[in-house]
Chains A and B, each alone.
Chain A
């Protein structure tokens, strides 16, 4: 099972929006509505910010939103804030043989 493909980097000024793509296959993203997104500040625990493609855990601001089309998922962050600067990873359930596959990661920089 190959890793999901994300752009290495993305950036935006405070208040702007940024969208990160996550490209998979018909065996993972295309097959299941179990896409998650994680925010990781190095040195800290990764944080779940989106699950089931577009649901936010309690406490996650609605500036974060997720979507999916075919084999590609996306994370949109609106109203960028300095604290949004972090690494972002997508993941997808991939069935009972491969279980979970993660993305290559995207470093978001707030200019």
Chain B
């Protein structure tokens, strides 16, 4: 069974930074593509970005407005995925999920970690 566990969320002031982690088990981590998706209060899900396999260059794609502020990386030796959030604004407040991707579907999800941006 695939299990994804996010961590690293918390309260941060506007302009601050945060690094989220996602530990994975029950899958071949190095063969997986990973996505981050967020759920803002009172809004729907929003795709944040994704990272390909290391043998594909671990290249990343992002929601266009987030490019340059957010970055995704992976540590295949630890089975951990990361999301670096920089220059945070209140609009970035929400529950952040990591998830695997397989052939155009975001399939296995974690329970999320909450990011609150507030002064």
Contact = CB atoms under 8 A, between A and B. Distances in A.
A25 to B, nearest CB: 16
A76 to B, nearest CB: 19
B105 A104 contact: no
Interface string B33-46: 00101000001111
B106 A36 contact: yes
B47 A99 contact: yes
Contact of A103 (B35, B44, B108): B44
Nearest to B110: A45
Contacts of B37: 102
A89 B44 contact: yes
B111 A44 contact: yes
Q: DSSP class of B's interface residues: helix, strand, loop or mixed?
A: strand
A1 B63 CA distance: 9
Interface string A16-49: 0000000000000000101010100001111110
Nearest to A43: B111
Contact of A99 (B4, B45, B61, B107): B61
Interface in A76-111: 89, 91, 93, 97-105
Interface size class on chain B is 20 to 34
A32 B37 CA distance: 20
Contacts of B109: 38, 45-48
Interface of B: 4, 35, 37, 43-47, 50, 61, 63-64, 97, 99, 104-112
Given A44-B111, A99-B50, A105-B45, 16 more contacts: A3-B44, A38-B45, A45-B97, A45-B108, A45-B110, A45-B112, A46-B109, A48-B106, A48-B109, A52-B105, A98-B64, A99-B47, A100-B35, A102-B44, A102-B46, A104-B44
8 contacts: A38-B109, A45-B4, A45-B108, A46-B99, A99-B47, A99-B61, A100-B35, A100-B47
